Amino acid sequence: MTKIALIGFGVVGQAFAEIIRDKKAMLKEKYGLDAEIIAIAGRSKGSVYDPDGIDLEILLKKFRETGTLESYPRGTKGLTSLETVNKTGADIIAEVTITNIETGEPALSHVKEALIHGKHVVTSNKGPAALAYKELKQLANHNKVQFRIESTVLSGTPAINFASENLAGHKIYGVKGIINGTTNYILSKMEQGEKYEDALREAQELGYAEADPTADVEGWDAVAKIMILGNALLGGELKVEEVEREGITGITPEDIMAAKSQGQRIKLIAEAYMEDGVVKARVSPERVHLSDPLAGVTGTLNALTVMTDGLLEVTVIGGGAGGVGTAHGLLSDILAIHRTCA
């Protein structure tokens, strides 16, 4: 049995629990993975630990009725997140708390604690992966465990594993793409004639943008993701202040129409590349010609183009947001750990 401890029980954490509940039999039959969530800790939702495995049907029902994990009728309650990491006997820690791009905390401490105690980590949290990827990867290698971050960039659409595993053997020169669905949605709507303010309001109403959209529209979310890609795939050690950044708030309808008249679309492009042997990165609105695969990526879709020596440019396109997609990215990492450690 593969024992999983889940740190964080927001949209992603709940979606992950539902997937394990619904696919448990299939995962065992098809992949030989007997996955059991034995502990869950939420920042404001309490915690629960049952070494024999949590009945997710009961837990989810009780949680939706009460809003607390501690309404689950069995198990140990009251463990902190760090205690859940190191005292529950979990094989894999799934860290899905809210991203903090300034310090990475508290997720960074959760991840370090897990790796130090010889536990594999899968995470959707961009903070640790963006701010301390090299350190965490070395810590994982030292303790003979894995630190996997597929969900941090394109949610459930393959990105990290796509480039590092499916394109293994290729030399990767750089990556570029549309890695923020909110800004892509707004720009797509502006091309259809909507004003920026109206497109943003619509994105907020649909749940694509937060009440405070700064992280998306000013490019900070894309900065975190391109740092992860640059550091994980190109071997860089990028810091937030080293990434050139420009958001989309200065883009006008006139800019959109001018690009359209020349067979182009404006997209918020994030790129990591090598320059004089150093990994660099930037995030900015760019004109993309309609012949480029990235130009056809509209709405909330994301895309990533990987530049290689063998296949030249390879592009993957898919959804880049949402709890279910992100949870499936976590599951893909858990299956990868199972394959390589079985």
Contact 300, 182 (CB under 8 A): yes
Q: Tokens 């549309």 — which residue?
A: 178
**DSSP labels, 282-331:** EEEEEEEETTSGGGG--TTEEEEEEEESSSSEEEEEEE---HHHHHHHHH
Between CA 192 and CA 47 the distance in angstroms is 47
Length of the chain: 342
Catalytic residue among 225, 260, 267, 280: 225
Q: How far is CA 66 from the centre of its chain?
A: 28
Which segments of 67-194 does DSSP mark as H helices, in order?
Answer: 81-87, 107-116, 126-142, 151-154, 160-161, 181-191
Q: Tell me 170's DSSP state.
A: S
> What is the amino acid identity at position 209?
A
Neighbours of 124 (CB within 10 A): 29
Give phi and psi for 331, each to the nearest 5: -65, -40
CA dist., res. 129 & res. 119, Å (int): 17
Q: Are 281 and 238 in contact (CB under 8 A)?
A: yes
Question: For residue 93, what are its two tokens?
Answer: 């820690």
Identify whether the C-beta of residue 306 lies closer than 8 Å to the C-beta of residue 260. Answer: no
Longest dimension (CA), the chain: 64
Instruction: Tell me phi and psi for residue 240, to 5 degrees.
Output: -50, -45
Q: Is 225 a catalytic residue?
A: yes
Give the residues across from 314 on adjacent strands. Answer: 306
CA pair distance 271, 96, nearest whole angstrom: 25
Cα 301 to chain centroid distance, Å, stands at: 14
Return the active site residues: 225
